[in-house]
């Protein structure tokens, strides 16, 4: 259990051994992620507070990184298709559907990981304000 209140000067003077990481350091990317996906992992982790990530989020975050990289690849294929002289409508349509699927997956995972502005906003912290409507019995 954590100690409540201010930390003592003795606990603040404890030095971590070289190579040891604090409990709230952002997690390192899993070894099975390729470098491009690991880069996405690092960018996402560095954009959040240090205590944001728990071990239970690792698999969902890894899947999010996979979808981000896949969406980039599909976007590159769409650009190549658009730059070509002969635009194959069937291939182009298939790529657009792939892009939509990747976008939906990324959006869903980002919301579950609380990476989107809508999932972070609190009304007390300047988030979206709700309308106050007079109820019929208050008139």
pLDDT at position 120: 62
The CA-atom distances, in angstroms, between 62 and each of 2, 28, 51, 92, 114 are 30, 11, 18, 28, 14
pLDDT at position 20: 43
Residue-wise pLDDT for 6-19, tens only, equals: 777 666 665 544 44
Residue 85 and residue 39 in contact, taking contact as beta carbons nearer than 8 Å: no
> Is the whole model's pTM more than 0.75, yes or no?
no
């Amino acid at each position: 259990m954590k100690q409540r209140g201010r930390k003592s000067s003795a606990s603040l003077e404890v030095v971590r051994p070289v190579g040891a990481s604090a409990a709230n350091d952002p997690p390192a990317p899993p070894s099975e992620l390729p470098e491009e996906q690991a880069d996405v992992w690092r960018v996402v982790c560095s954009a959040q507070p240090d205590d944001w990530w728990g071990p239970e989020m690792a698999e969902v975050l890894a899947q999010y990184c996979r979808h981000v990289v896949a969406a980039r690849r599909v976007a590159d294929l769409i650009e190549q298709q658009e730059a070509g002289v002969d635009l194959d409508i069937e291939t182009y349509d298939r790529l657009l559907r792939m892009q939509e699927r990747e976008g939906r997956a990324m959006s869903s995972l980002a919301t579950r990981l609380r990476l989107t502005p809508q999932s972070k906003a609190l009304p007390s912290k300047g988030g979206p304000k709700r309308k106050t409507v007079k109820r019929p019995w208050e008139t």
